[in-house]
Structure 1
Amino acid sequence: MNKVLKQEACLEKIEELRNKMVNAAGQYGMSHPIVLHYSQELDRAHNKMILLEVPNRSTNWQRSFSY
């Protein structure tokens, strides 16, 4: 998978997680554990996207991110 496709996949995942987080917050309130879960997943997706955009970063960081 090339870099552009990986970035597009990350962007799609970020949007999906953002929507889930917003919907859960509307349904359960901002402090509900599921909202926190989606927020943390969203942070991981953002971090992965940043690593894809910056060349020559350590692959150890990339291995620590999972969906």
Structure 2
Amino acid sequence: MSITQQYLLDTYRARRLGEPAPPAPGAHDWQLVREMGGHREFRAALAGRPARGRLRTALSRRLFARRPRPGC
């Protein structure tokens, strides 16, 4: 049985029982991808490895921000 067939069967059962319809397949894929990236960074921090990616970029931008020169 394919994912689409299972979804249609679940939707049919939910409608007959008066329950809310399940989310469509693939509706939350990007949220899962973002959460996996956050989880990977969390595990790296627990293991003592340096941060990579967006977190490291944000931290370096904060720490090494250019300060405006006086008189310019």
TM-score normalised by structure 1 residue count: 0.36
TM-score normalised by structure 2 residue count: 0.34
The structure with more helix, counted as a fraction of residues = 1
Look at both structures and tell me which one has the larger radius of gyration over its CA atoms.
2
